[in-house]
Structures are given as structure tokens and as C-alpha cells.
Amino acid sequence: MNKLLTFLDMGGYALWVWPAYGITAVALIGMVIFARRDLKAREREFETLRAARRGE
Amino acid sequence: MSVFSALLARDLKLALRQSADSMTVVAFFAIATVLFPFGIGPEANVLARIAGGVLWVTALLAALLSLDRLFTVDYEDGTLDQLVLSGAPLPMVVLAKVTAHWLTTGVPLIIMSPVLALTLHLPAQGYAPMMLALLLGTPTVSLVGAVGAALVLGTRRGGVLLSLLVLPLYIPVLIFGTASVEAVITGVETNGPLLILAGFAVLALTLCPWATAAALRQAVE
Amino acid sequence: MHKFANPTQFMRIANAIYPWAAGLSMILFLIGVPIALVSSPADYQQGETVRILYLHVPAAVMMQMIYYGMAAGSAAYLIWRHPMANLVAKASAPMGAIFTALCLICGMLWGQPMWGTFWVWDARLTSTLIQFFIYLGYIALADAFEDPERGDRAAAILALVGVVNVPIIKFSVNWWNTLHQPASLSLTKSSMTGDMLLPLFLMMGAFGTFYIAVLVLRLRAELLSAKIRNARLSQVAVSEATAAAE
């Protein structure tokens, strides 16, 4: 337990180390989520467009 | 060469007819500089310390404002299409237009700068290097700005976009322009920054007309 | 060269790379982050804050690599009309901007405990900030035209102008920095020991493969939107033709 606390404390620099890792994680995960959602949305759009074409 | 002189003469004649345009740029230079004492306070020694930097920043902004219209008139009335289609060497065309721009805005800014420097209490030995630095730096400003002005032709938000594209590229000129004034004031040897400014001008002169020509060609295609 | 110019061929290769890049990135993060945070030693000068550099430096490397990649792609697009090269540049730009922002944020978070202030006009931080504006300019220009193809070409020219300027800006900022500030503890300049290189390289690899994987996703989306645009245009053309025939 004590070990975990000293790890989380980061030698007194917790206030800077953890936000750096947190913000980076959020940015990277955000990039993936955004890219995947964007791709899905366009795939759907393309499919509806193709379906409309076939219907004509 | 005849293309160059013909275009230069035409642009100068147009600028002379609409001399209010250059006047506006100089007036902007003056008012923007005069804002600083209001923002910072009128203490002579503080103003003297920042005079070189303030004049350079305001000169860059003034030049930028005028660059916005460097190609727009020719672009909108179709002159630019004709120039591109005419088969005239496009970098030469660009060079003529940039020279005209520099003569009608850069030079007035240089002439105006000592008057504004007076109001900022620039130390006496700073005047010569300041004007020399402006003389060597403003051609680069016009040349680099021309690339940006050609790139934003036909966009929805030309002026603001131009600032975003071009201002980061002006930072080297700003650094060495201000440094050549400060070097003299702090009593250090002055030639270094001025020589680097001259080097930038040569580099810009060899590269920018081609980049601008490429940008113009894609704009009228 | 021309094998890659064909979007179908290009995407076949890109899609084959995708699972490897994504998997490798995941593995490198899973190994690299624990080493960066736990098992690597604290620096004798910087203490635990050195762990921030394992994010800051890879982000800085990505910022530079992506921009050079964009410039190369833009050149290939302008010279050989290589459509995929331009698409790579365009899809990379927002990622480059985000990596640059991360580099700045991590640099500032390192600076606060080390320098006592979030922002110092350190040569590297200043150059990074300027690079960030160059990325923003590219993104804004590419997006500013009604006709997407014009935006592509204008942005490609801007990328090349920028890549010529980047070393000049770096040189100027370094010169300016030494003129105005005595060298103190500088970001990343302090000597790197062997213990620090392992997490650094692992994180660089993780960031690099991450970029490639997300780039493939973004390229797929870009190609699809081009297809959608074409389909829309031909639909309009068809309906106009039928209207004219009636």
C-alpha cells in the first residue's frame, strides 16, 4: 500500500507527471475514437447512397 | 525584362492614382505604433527599450494588411488569367508586382519609421541600423507575403487566413531586424544581424517568385 | 512508384499494414508505459519529472517526422500528381497538430516544476509553438476553398514553403534564445543515460506505429468521402440529364 502511495506521489511531482500522462492518453484515445467514428459515418453514408442508386 | 518593366510601370501608375492605399498603410503603421505608449505607459526608458521591436512588429502588420490586396484586384477582373495564359515568365510577373508593392508600401514605411522612433525615444545611435534593417528586411516581407497572398486567392476568409500563414514565417526577419537595432543600443558590433537579413533577402528573392508563380497558376486553373 | 499512385493498390498495402501497426502499437504502449512510469529510475537532476520527457520527446519527434512526411507527400502530389501522397499529407496534418500540442503541453508540465513557470522562451518550446501555428495554417488553408482540389494544391505548396522555412526559423530562434537567455537546465538537453533510452525508444515506437494505424483509418475515411462526393456529383448530373430529356 505504501509502495503504491509513493508511486502515485511521483517524488512530489504527481501534480505534473500524472496530468501529462492523462492528457496524452485522452488525446491518443480521442484520435482513435474520432477516426473510427468518422470512418463508420462515411461508410454508412456511402451505403445509403449506393442503396438509393440501386433503388432507382 | 520588358514584361517586368511594363508591369512595374503599370502597377506604379495604378498605385499613384490610388495613392490613398499607400497612405492608409503608413497611417496604420503610425496608429498601431502610437497605441503602445498607451498600453505600456509613457516612461521614456521603457519605450526606448522596446522601440525597435515595436516598430518592427507594427511594420510587419502594416505590410501584411497591404499584401492582402496584392493579387486580388488582378484576380477578380481577370488580368491574372491573361497574364498566366500570355506565356510571360510568371516568376518575372510576380517579381514586378512585388517590386511595385515594396516601392509603394515598404519604402513609405521606412521613411516614416524615424518619425515614429522619435515618439518612442529610440536612442540616437539606433536610427541608422533601424532604417538599414528595414531596408534589408522589408523586401523579404513583401516576397514571402506574396506567396501567402497568392495562396489565399479565392478563399472565403482571405485576410485573416493570410496572417495565419505568413506571420510565423516572418519571425526570423523580426528576430534579426530587432536584434540589429538592439545590438547598437547595447553597444555590440552590429553587422551580424544585418548580414543575416541580407542573406534572407537573397534567399527569398531566389525562391519566393517561383513559389508564388506556382500558387498563382493553381489559382487561375 | 506508380504502383502506389493507384488508390486501390495503395489501400491494399495500407490495410495489410493496419493490424500489424495497431497491434505493435498496443504492445509497445503496454511495455513502454510501465517502464516509463515505474521501472526506469528517476533522474538525479530532474527527479521523477523525467518521466514526462518520455511523452514530450516522442511527441516532438512525431511533430517533425509528420511534417517532413507531409512535405514529401505534397511534393509527390505537385510533381507527379500522385493523389494518394496528397491524401496522406492531408490526413496527417490534424494528427501532427495534436502531437505538437501534446509536445507543448508536456513541455509546459515539465517546465513548471523545473523552471518554476509554465512557459519559458526556451528555444525548443518556442520552435514547437511556431511549428504548431504552421500546422494550423496548413489545416486552415486546405479547408478554405469551395473546390476541394484547389485547397489540396494550395496546401501542398504551403507545406513545401513551410519545410524550407522550418530550419531557418529554428536557426533564428536558437540565435535569439542564446542572445537573451543564459543556458539553464534545458528541456531534453540534459544528458540521457542508458536507463532513459529504453523507455524513450519504446514510446517513440509506440507513437510511430500508433500514427500509422490511425493514418490508415483516416485514409479510408478520406477515400470514402471522395467517393461520396463523386457519387453525389454524378447523381446530380443524371437527374439533370433526365430532366433535360423530359
- Tens of pLDDT, residues C189-229: 555 667 788 888 999 999 999 999 999 999 999 888 888 88
As a whole-number percent, the residues of chain A with pLDDT over 70 amount to 95
Angle, CA C118 vertex, CA C115 and CA A9 arms, to 5°: 75
- Which residues neighbour B75 within 8 Å (Cβ) at sequence distance 6 or greater? B153, B154, B219, B220
Q: Does residue B213 surpass a pLDDT of 70? A: yes
Average pLDDT over residues C96-119: 89
Residue C34: what pLDDT? 87
Question: Rounded CA gap, B41 and B23, in Å?
Answer: 28
Residue C98: what pLDDT? 96
Least confident of B18-32, B124-138, C47-61, C171-185: C171-185
Sign for the pseudo-dihedral over CA of C95, C205, C27, A18: negative
What confidence category does residue C94 fall into, taking pLDDT thresholds of 50, 70 and 90?
very high
What 3-state class would DSSP assign to C246?
Answer: coil
In chain B, the number of structural domains is 1
What confidence category does residue C156 fall into, taking pLDDT thresholds of 50, 70 and 90?
very high
Residue A52: what pLDDT? 81
- Which residues neighbour B108 within 8 Å (Cβ) at sequence distance 6 or greater? B22, B25, B26
Question: Is B220 touching C (CB cutoff 8 A)?
Answer: no
φ/ψ (deg, to 5) at C77: -70, -45
Average pLDDT over residues B204-220: 89
Residues in B 135-174 with any Cβ partner in C closer than 8 A:
147, 151-152, 154-157, 161, 164-165, 167-169, 171-172
Average pLDDT over residues B126-138: 90
Looking at CA atoms only, how far is residue C45 from chain A in angstroms? Answer: 12
Question: Is C154 touching B (CB cutoff 8 A)?
Answer: yes
What 3-state class would DSSP assign to C122?
Answer: coil
Question: Rounded CA gap, B152 and B213, in Å?
Answer: 13
Per-residue DSSP letter, B125: G
What confidence category does residue C185 fall into, taking pLDDT thresholds of 50, 70 and 90?
low
- Which residues neighbour C23 within 8 Å (Cβ) at sequence distance 6 or greater? none
Residue C75: what pLDDT? 92
Question: Is C109 touching B (CB cutoff 8 A)?
Answer: no
Question: Is C224 touching A (CB cutoff 8 A)?
Answer: yes
What 3-state class would DSSP assign to C6?
Answer: coil
Mean residue pLDDT across chain C: 85
Long-range contacts of A11-17 (CB under 8 A, 24+ apart): A11/C42, A11/C47, A11/C48, A12/C47, A12/C48, A13/C47, A13/C48, A13/C49, A13/C113, A16/C49, A16/C52, A16/C109, A16/C110, A16/C112, A16/C113, A17/C37, A17/C48, A17/C49, A17/C51, A17/C52, A17/C109
Can you read off the three cell numbers belonging to residue C203? Answer: 514510446
Question: Rounded CA gap, C215 and C211, in Å?
Answer: 6
**Closest to C152 (Cα-Cα) out of C165, C143, C162:** C143
Beta carbons of B146 and B208 less than 8 angstroms apart: yes
Q: At what angle do helices B158-185 and C148-180 cross, to 10 degrees?
A: 20
Beta carbons of B125 and B34 less than 8 angstroms apart: no
Contact list in A for residue C235 (CB cut-off 8 A) is 49, 53
Beta carbons of C58 and C204 less than 8 angstroms apart: yes
Residue B56: what pLDDT? 93
Beta carbons of B159 and B165 less than 8 angstroms apart: no
Mean residue pLDDT across chain B: 87
Sign for the pseudo-dihedral over CA of C34, C37, C38, C43: positive
Q: Does residue C43 surpass a pLDDT of 80? A: no
Question: Rounded CA gap, B133 and B147, in Å?
Answer: 22
Question: Is A8 touching C (CB cutoff 8 A)?
Answer: no
Average pLDDT over residues B133-156: 91
Subunits close to C (at least 3 CB pairs below 8 A): A, B
Residue C65: what pLDDT? 93
The more confident residue out of C109 and A5 is C109
Residue B156: what pLDDT? 79
pLDDT by residue (tens digit) across A43-54?
Answer: 998 888 888 877
Q: Does residue C92 surpass a pLDDT of 90? A: yes
What confidence category does residue C138 fall into, taking pLDDT thresholds of 50, 70 and 90?
very high
Average pLDDT over residues B81-89: 83
pLDDT by residue (tens digit) across B189-202?
Answer: 668 888 899 999 99
Q: Does residue C66 surpass a pLDDT of 70? A: yes
Residue with cell 542564446: C178
Beta carbons of A32 and C214 less than 8 angstroms apart: yes
Strand partners, C43: C47
Question: Rounded CA gap, B196 and B137, in Å?
Answer: 10
Other C-beta atoms closer than 10 Å to the C-beta of C184 total: 10
Mean residue pLDDT across chain A: 85
* CB contact (8 A) between residue C154 and residue B171: no
Chains B and C touch (3+ CB pairs under 8 A): yes
- Which residues neighbour C4 within 8 Å (Cβ) at sequence distance 6 or greater? C10, C13, C82, C84
Residue B11: what pLDDT? 83
Q: Which of B179, B203, B218 sits opposite C154 (nearest CB)?
A: B218
Question: Is C231 touching B (CB cutoff 8 A)?
Answer: no
What confidence category does residue C2 fall into, taking pLDDT thresholds of 50, 70 and 90?
low
Average pLDDT over residues C113-127: 83
Question: Is C161 touching B (CB cutoff 8 A)?
Answer: yes
The domain containing residue B203 runs over which residues? 2-220
Question: Rounded CA gap, B113 and A37, in Å?
Answer: 55
What confidence category does residue B188 fall into, taking pLDDT thresholds of 50, 70 and 90?
confident
Per-residue DSSP letter, C185: S
Nearest CA in chain A to C222: A39
Average pLDDT over residues B115-139: 89
Angle, CA B95 vertex, CA B97 and CA C76 arms, to 5°: 115
Chosen for mutation from C149, C150, C161 (greatest number of chain B CBs closer than 10 Å) is: C161
Chains B and A touch (3+ CB pairs under 8 A): no
Residue B102: what pLDDT? 92
Contact list in C for residue A31 (CB cut-off 8 A) is 95, 98, 214
pLDDT by residue (tens digit) across B167-179?
Answer: 999 999 999 988 8
* CB contact (8 A) between residue A19 and residue C109: yes
* CB contact (8 A) between residue B171 and residue C175: no
One-letter amino acid identity for A40? K
